[in-house]
Amino acid sequence: MHIRVINPNTTASMTARIGKAAEAIAAPGTRISAVNPQDGPVSIESHFDEAISAVGVAEEVRRGERESVDAYIVACFGDPGLMAARELTRAPVIGIAEAAFHMATLVSTRFSVVTTLGRTAIIAEHLLASYGFAGHCRRVRAAEIPVLELEDNNEAAFERIVAECRRARDEDGIGSIVLGCGGMADLTGRISDAVGLPVIEGVTASVKLAEALVGLGLHTSKHGDLAFPRPKPFSGRFADWSDARH
């Protein structure tokens, strides 16, 4: 089984860390390939960043189709380009936010999300409502850490995340915590040990869900809105997308 993990930003060191976390949890026989687009933002912290990065996600899925990838993971907590990616393939495509929310409801009745910045906390709230998990989430908290701090000042960022997780544990009446950034993929165990609650991180959760879907022989439905995009002329630098299946 080949799972392609797509980091939608262009920071290669983060891609490597995300890939390593995915490999550590993958079952024997599962191949993980972690990639990122060549063009786009170095981190994703706004609606605008997500809009730009969604094109890169689509391009990486298109490349993966030429390599017969079995499943894809969109490894940014905003799940940028998720539905568009699902239109491009029959393989399962999993967004790490949606995966983490699902997993949290399986181990607790209420959870809180701890993410990076206040503005991305709002984006996470939109996703909770869109995916139907708003009633399960008590609060979305921001540690007020720019995403690249997870790369450049990892230990200081870790301490701030742990402090916010402890506040969530003590104040929110929850049973588990969801980490709201793909760049936190390698911190899950340490944070869980420090906080004493189940901590769910979306990259690793997505790997196990992808393995389950492929093992069950389930694929992205091509009936309805997730059918392959209809061929039509695209202009300018997007002319190559006139037939998205090729």
- How many angstroms separate the CA atoms of 168 and 197, rounded? 10
What are the pLDDT digits (tens) for 54-89? 999 999 999 999 999 999 999 999 999 999 999 999
What are the pLDDT digits (tens) for 79-116? 999 999 999 999 999 999 999 999 999 999 999 999 99
Can you give the pTM of this predicted structure? 0.96
Angle at which helices 96-107 and 118-131 pack, to 10 degrees? 70
Ramachandran class of 29: left when φ > 0, alpha when ψ lies in -120 to 50, beta otherwise: left
Q: What is the pLDDT of residue 245?
A: 78
180: pLDDT strictly greater than 80: yes
Please state which architecture CATH assigns to domain 97-202: 3-Layer(aba) Sandwich (3.40)
| CB count in 10 Å sphere of residue 56 | 23
What is the pLDDT confidence band of residue 154, given thresholds at 50, 70 and 90?
Answer: confident
- How many angstroms separate the CA atoms of 45 and 152, rounded? 16
Domain ranges of the chain: 2-95+205-241, 97-202
157: pLDDT strictly greater than 90: no
Give me the CATH topology for the region 2-95+205-241: Rossmann fold (3.40.50)
153: pLDDT strictly greater than 70: no
DSSP state of 146: -
Angle at which helices 154-171 and 188-195 pack, to 10 degrees? 40
